[in-house]
Structure 1
Amino acid sequence: PPILGMLAIEDTLALIDDAGMPAIREKSIELTTFALEVVVEELAPLGVEVASPIDTASRGGHVTLRHPLMRQVTAALWRRDVIPDYRDPDGLRIGLSPLSTSFAETLTGLLAVRDTLLRLIPAD
């Protein structure tokens, strides 16, 4: 068996065990709900749509956003060390790990999406 890999995951499993799945799920719901609130306030006015389920019972630990410029946004964010996933044809997926992602990091990442969109959207 891959002993080194098993050793690396041992600490993570202990962290999950210490926190407990109900608390981890609650933080996941809080993070994704917070992210969606930021999207409504900061990104929806720029034409960003939420592709993830709004209902917390149907939503996992990530939020997917849609906008025609998301391919360019994702590339620009990667250059700034903000690392979302791109999903064709126009989706940006933000994974929010409840054990390691803070609300401040979530806000910083979403504001980076906003700032990048503002630079890419042609001025009227």
Structure 2
Amino acid sequence: LWDLCHSVGVVPTDLGAADVDLAVGCTYKYLNGGPGSPAFLYVNADRTDLQNPVRGWYGSDDPMGFGFDAGPAAGASRFLTGTPPILSTVLVEPGVDLILEAGIDRLRAKSVALTERFVALVDLHLAPLGFGVQSPRDPARRGSHVSLRHDAAQAVSQALVNEARVITDSRPPDLIRFGFAPLYIGFADVDEAVRRTAEVVESGGIDRWRGVQSVVP
């Protein structure tokens, strides 16, 4: 079972060549589906033995019969549950179209360039302020986000979101995540994010937001 949430749309992945049985992912990150967009499931066509333990009416072989003794649908359809969110699902399509138009290899190249620049600027400008790079420094071992360590990660993240309009999130106890969607994030955005992070910390933002619950508006 592969988790594709942080790779689909930014990292070339050939599930068939890797002979993956199952993969799950989301569409609201790099596929640009937005809030409420659906998750997805990949099922290897050869794994006809796999069953869904929580079968919905769409996943049965007689979805309109509503019978308790209905069997599973053929193929990957057996993993469907209830009615999908139609509007949210429709909005995924233009996001995927943009990915296909840009090309996954070009997006990956830009993603690596963006994160490499960010890591270099963190070392130069933010390391003296108590930040450290937690993500692998080898770009081949990371996706399109970079996690930083800081003792006051939650306060820094809240200060960035609420004062500097830099949308990050924090993970206890000491991580801040910066994501770089290569379709619409540019190198000037990377520079500005680092500049604003330094500015927030140097201006006392940690003290202003220490203890505030982490919420991204």
Larger RCO, structures 1/2 (Cα 8 Å, 6+ apart): 1
Stretch deviating more after TM superposition (113-122 or 55-64)? 113-122
**What SS is found at the alignment partner of 2:139?**
coil
Runs of 4+ in 1 over 6 A off after TM superposition: none
Higher helix share: 1
Counterpart amino acid of residue 189 in structure 2: E
Q: State the identity %.
A: 39
Stretch deviating more after TM superposition (97-106 or 23-32)? 97-106
Q: CA deviation at 1:45?
A: 1.6
- Cross-structure match for 2:181: 97
Return the TM-score normalized by structure 1: 0.90
TM-align CA RMSD: 1.6
- Cross-structure match for 1:23: 106
* Preserved contact between residue 77 and residue 112 of structure 1 (Cα < 8 Å): yes
Query: Of 140, 143, 148, which residue of structure 2 is paired with 1:60?
Result: 143
**What SS is found at the alignment partner of 2:181?**
coil
**What SS is found at the alignment partner of 1:97?**
coil
Return the TM-score normalized by structure 2: 0.53
Q: CA deviation at 1:103?
A: 1.2
- Cross-structure match for 1:84: 168
Q: CA deviation at 1:95?
A: 0.7
Q: CA deviation at 1:49?
A: 0.6
* Preserved contact between residue 76 and residue 116 of structure 1 (Cα < 8 Å): yes
Unaligned runs of 5+ in 1: none
- Cross-structure match for 2:6: none
Q: Distance in 1 between matches of 2:168 and 2:189?
A: 12
* Preserved contact between residue 69 and residue 117 of structure 1 (Cα < 8 Å): no
Query: Of 145, 155, 165, which residue of structure 2 is paired with 1:72?
Result: 155
* Preserved contact between residue 61 and residue 96 of structure 1 (Cα < 8 Å): yes
Q: Distance in 1 between matches of 2:85 and 2:185?
A: 28
